[in-house]
Structures are given as C-alpha cells and as structure tokens.
Structure 1
C-alpha cells in the first residue's frame, strides 16, 4: 500500500474519530457549550469594535474580547479536558494527512536545455539566501550565467540587455516583485522562465509547484526541467504574478513603518481607514452582474483565483492557467442605491477576464506586496498562457491545492477513493498537451508597442 493511500486511510479514521469524540463532548457539556459560543461571539464583537477605534475605547474593546475568550475557555475546561484535547489533536492530524493525500505531481513535458540561460539574483532577498546557498556558483556549475543585482540597478534594463545579448532563458532568484519583472520580459520574447525561491515568502513559486525548500534545485529547471504555460496579469500595463490589493492592506503598506512593524502599522490603519471617523475607501467597481458598487474593507485582484476559507490549501491558487482574474471583495459593499449588503461570508469572490476600479483620487495599492500609487481608472487584465515556465523534474510542478476538492463532502469522497486505490490521479494542474497561445494571446508589453 502506498504512502498516499495510508495517509488517506489515517485521515478518514482520525477525522471520523475526532468528530465523534467532539460530538460526545458537546452533548456532555450542554448547556455550557452554547454559553461558551455566546461568549466567543461577544468577544469577537467587542474586539472588532475596539479595533475600529483608538485610545481607551480600543483598549477596552480588546480587553472585553480577551475576557470573553477566557470565559469560554473556562467554561469548556471545567471537565473532560483530556477528551477535548484529543478531539482537537485528531482533527488537526486528519487535516494534515488529508493535505498530504491530495498533494501530487504534474507530468510536465520535457524540454531541451537552453544554450544561454541567465540567472538574475538579489543578494539581499530572503535574508541573503543567494549567498547562503552559493547560487552564483551553483548557476555556473549548470552553465547558467549569474547576474547580481546591486543597489540602484534597473532590473528590467538588465534583463532586456541580457536578451539583446543572446540570452535564451531567464531565471530570477528574489522576491515576487522581481519575479514579475523578469517574467514579463520572458513572456514578451516567448522565452523559458524559471522561478528560484530565494525571496521571503515565494508565493509564486509555491503555486507554480516549485519546492520552496530546494532553492538550489530550482536551477535544474534549465537542466532537465519540464515546461508548462501559465498566465500573467496586469494593472494599467504593470505586470503582477500574484495579486494587487486595494483598501486596508494597501493603505498600510504605504506607511513608512510598515516594514519594521507590520502588525502595529496595520492596526493603526484600521481606524484611520474603515473606522467610524476614518476617511473611508472611495473605490467604485462593478460586480459580476454589472451593478456598480463602492468597496468594503479591501479588494484583492489576483492572477487566477485563490482558494479562500478552506481548512486545507487556503491562500493558494489551484491553478495559474485558467485564463481568468480572481476578484475578492472583503466586507460590506454599497450598491448603486446606497443600500449596504453583507454577503453570507465576510467576502464575495468571482472570476473574470477583466476588472475595473475607479475613484476620484490616486489609489494606494500593494502589487505583489510592494507599495504603489496608481492613477484611476485601474484596468486589470489577464494575459492567458503567455509565460513558458520551466520547473525541475524533482519538484512537484503543481500547486499544493491543485487536486484538492472544494467542499467537505467532496473531500471525504476523494479520500475514500484514494484509500480504496481507485484514484490514479497524481495531482497537478498542468497539462502536457497545453497548446501554445495564438498570436493574439502572446504578450505585448506596452513599452514595446
């Protein structure tokens, strides 16, 4: 029996056992359970009320929130503490094993190694990963020319100069903002591109199926790697590989102290932006039905849809070749008539090939985590299948959520199929039979027009 089948069997057993034990505990704890839930609801309300304000009112709201959580814990910890801990541990282990069961590898078609590949690397990115892993030496050992970025360098100019000098493949070792620059030039010239996870979080690498723990191994994409085509996205002509955030987070990253104190800066931004005395967010957009709205707390526009609000795989993109933007609006939206509409979940999401946002002022934005200020209207567009991505054959080649079902029922059924040996899928969202993009779909940079 394979490790994948064993993980699926264990996930089903632990999940069923954990749920059964949780039900027994809940019945035995009645009516303390509902009272504890009420305490948690009051705690959340008080904490949110405090976060939207400043000074003593904020401190009081947060204090009441902590008291509510403490009361809920005290109610549930009076007895049967061991059973509660076992139930929580069993459910957590079931989720971890389910994640492992759904992880897979994409079968990427092999491609010939490029003759003059170039690696651009930022020595300071990711806390100095390039130096720690001796990326320059590792690149030379694979016949890849390394080019180090220095303070003040224009990365786009360096990449274009390398292409003009004959580079036939481009790789970037750095943050996602730098990845977007190199990927845009690679797509414009239809050159192979490799993402080396030498940044801090490496979100693009994760969703491409690059092993983020194997920085050096990512260079093998230009040795014996497979290839797939993925999408890029743009806002007003600027390419991004992950997402553009507008609203609360975008306001926070504009502040000078954000890099050194992210949480404190974000907490300070909440009342100033969406609090009762805040400036508000004057952003206008149209939903999938064509109705004009004004934004809630935040808008996230992504290069393909993110998996959100799920027990496993949340915050990743199942695929990056769907040819659609992902649009997520968090919080209350105001319709054309002025009425507020709170969705069933605290966010609403949909997919579209294009999305526009308008305002009467310059709009702060976070583009792949970097602060920017954009002039309205913001025109988001998807560029389907324009980027040729190479991935080492020793890496997954697919997003960790590529094969994850959408719901609990579908997940249980999929685990049962895997456990029974009736699921021969290896995961992955890349197809070896992807057709090349037509001429109309190929990348055309606004700078090259």
Structure 2
C-alpha cells in the first residue's frame, strides 16, 4: 500500500478523553473514531489489525476441532425468559421492542442461542462431542464506558460452546480450549497467563481467565514468577488426546496465579518470597465449565446407549477480539507509539523515501515495494512529499516492526537502512539483502 493512497488520519495531539496508552495511540494512529460513548468506528488501520486477530482465532479454533457459525446480534427475549436470565442479567443488557411489541435484546452473550440450536438438531450421544463457536459483535451497556476498546459497550468477541455427554468429556473440552488459547495468544505476541477466576453472571464450577500483564490492567493479580518463563512454542498437540491436553493444563496452571477475586493469601505467602509477584492484568479471555445449567433449563438432552435421555454437559469459552487490540498496545509500546508484534502487524514493513522526487530514491523504493509484494508481504510505502522527520514520526506511531529507509546518500554506497522498531537498532544493507532479511523474519510466522 502507498501511503499517499491510503486513509490514515493520524493526529498530532492526544485527544483529551484518552486516559490510557492504547486509547491514546489508537486515536492518534487513525485506527478508531468514537461514534458515541463506548462505541467506535474501526478505520482502515484498526480494521486491518482486527481482522488479523480474528483470523488467528479462527485458525486455532479450527485446529482444535471446533466448528464456526454465526448467530444474530438481536435475540428474542423468549429464550432468555426460558433460561431464567432475562430479568436477572441486569441493566448491562440492552432491551428493546420491535414494531409488533415483541421483547428483543442486543446479545451480550449467546449461551441460550447456541443451546437452542443444539436442542433443535442433536438428539443422540453419537453426535457428541460437539463444539460450536462464533466471532460476533456483542453489546453490554456499561454504566461508565472508558479506556477506548478496553471497556467499550460494543465489542467483537469469540464465544464458543461445547456439548458433551458427561462431565469428564466436558472437562476435556475445557482443557482443549485452554491449550488452544495458549497457542492463540502466543501467535499474537502475547503472554496471557491463565488464572483461576470468579465465574461471574455466567456461572460455573471451573473457570480460568487469561490475563496480559500491564500497568493499566483493571484487575490486581498475584502469581508465581516462574509462570512467566513458560512458552507453548511450536509443540504439536493432538487435541483429541486427553493425556496431552491434561499435561499442558498441569504445566500452565500448577503454579500459583490468581485474580484478586480468588486470591488466597496463605497459599501465595507459602511461595518463596523472590517468586511472589503482584501486578495489574488485562483480561483477554475466559473459559468456563458450567455443567447442565443451561441444558436442563432449555431441554438440551441426548439419548444414551441404554435409551435414557440426559441433559448435556456444557462449557463456554470467550476471547475478546477487539479488546485484544488494546491489550497488545498496552503490553507493547514506547513513548513514540505502538510496537506491533510481527504476527499481528497491519503491514509487514514500512518503506520511507527520504527524498521524494529524486530519481534514484524513487526507483529504489519502487523496486523494494515490488520485491516485498512479490514475496507475499505487505509493505507500506511512505511516498508522500513530507519532511523526513514527519515520515519517521508516522512510522513510529503506527508501530510497524521493520522499516527500510532509502535516501540518495545511502544509495550512492549501494545500501539502504533496515531498522527494528522494538530495539531501534539499524543496519545498512544492499536493497536485495534487506528484502531477504525481512522475508526471513516473517517466514515462520
């Protein structure tokens, strides 16, 4: 993409309403624009990252054997009355009526809808196990929306629901989701720590939250420092294997990690003092097992081999996709702007022309742009008639991991400058070597 043809409305000044880093940088980098309190338009750069996150979530869910579908954002109140949650959910649920006076709501979550689909079409244990999921917009009418996409009213969320014949099978689904989430977050360049948590209004006996450590996190967290050394890495997991999923679960949850809601001071203090950590965390996902709570209320049953009809065991598993954008920025930035991990960057590499209109510089930039594009990479070429300082400031603000700088002086020596956004380190290379190095970096991502 050529920046002169792209829509990137960057701001030089920080809007007064932006209180945290991610909100400030998302507004300044032209990623979002507030439409109303807690509701945002996603501008091209922000939308591009959002879709990358969504694609990673889809890929890892499908890898784990889960099946995507899509539910409506508007739901009938009848299902929620049937489950007993319509009156009890609270004022966060946006309620309305259609022209015929029928009670409707804007979905804050989708347990009822998925359970209704299941009970309408699945009758036998032979069709189990089954996990269905969607990535869809949700609405929760926060009393005080703030912090940009971190606590908005409208948000993009992956929510999945497993249906199993027994508690044992459902707990395997729980473990399988925990493993798939570890893979998902690592691909995004995040270390999301699974922490035992409170189930909240969804309910359930087993639940873990995934939290990213950040100074602006809304939750106080207590954890064993050894957990931050754990990496999922490139290991291959058979998601049908109870033993393999259980082994990963034990590895990542055997060390102490709790939110303030479930913190046990005595257990925490039993850790060696040098390993005790207290910090802030941003929730980016949560998994639940809640047994037969919804299947009993809504009549979601299957026939067992002996002909008995039993309610299925269920769990739900969520990832805040739009919230992840803010979490990544909170965890990865400096005083100049965003620093995108390579796995989610909107463009793989920036190209800065220091002297637009110079024949040699223009030609070298065009050649770099063509070579990177031919390799399947997406460069962002700053071809504007703008001073060099302004071009560098824009690249630093939007946070592309790598930048190739082209100028007449370097070209006389046959080199361009390749710069790493995270470290600030630069090296001079012939143009073809710079392209090869960028391609090598992204080859394994």
Q: If the length of structure 2 is used for normalisation, what is the TM-score?
A: 0.29
Q: If the length of structure 1 is used for normalisation, what is the TM-score?
A: 0.29
